[in-house]
Amino acid sequence: MEAVTAAVAAWLPATEWGRAGAVLLGAATMDFAVQWTMFLVSYALRTEKLYDATGTQTFVLLALSNLLQVGEPHPRQVVATAFVVIWALRLSFFLVSRVLAVGEDSRFRHVKGKFGLFLIYWTLQVRGTCGDGRG
């Protein structure tokens, strides 16, 4: 994440965004990269079973990488990040278990074979992991 943030910071004018903007844009860039990479894998395999696991694990990745950006984090930041990671792992276990038990995720029944539509689902997942959390 540090390399992504450094690259983004070099691209952004420091007067407009500063370090915080570079970290946020770096997180969004990493999120899109993960989602679109896993979309390509899922599309090639014609499966939706990676969707929820990817979303929640990306949430963990972003939480941990942002904590590491701080340098020497305050104990409150460590505790908050730990709770986010625990929540995301619990949610991932639940969602993946449900899809595996049912055999499919019905939301994707008619879209997983359609490149553009399936890509929209994966792209909108960025809103849930990097955006406002309502995704």
Burial 51-62 (b: 16+ CB within 10 A, else e): bbebbbbbbbbb
Which band of pLDDT confidence, cut at 50, 70 and 90, is reported for residue 70?
confident
Tokens 């694990």 correspond to: 57
Which residue ranges make up each domain of the chain? Answer: 2-129
Residue range 34-66, pLDDT digits in tens:
999 999 999 999 999 999 999 999 989 999 988
3-state helix, strand, coil in the chain (%, to 5): 75, 0, 25
Quick one: pLDDT at residue 135?
A: 44
Average pLDDT, integer, range 88-111: 92
Can you read off the two tokens belonging to residue 29?
Answer: 């860039």
**Can you tell me whether residue 49 is helix, strand or coil?**
coil
Quick one: pLDDT at residue 68?
A: 87
Average pLDDT, integer, range 97-108: 91
Q: What is the pTM of this model?
A: 0.78
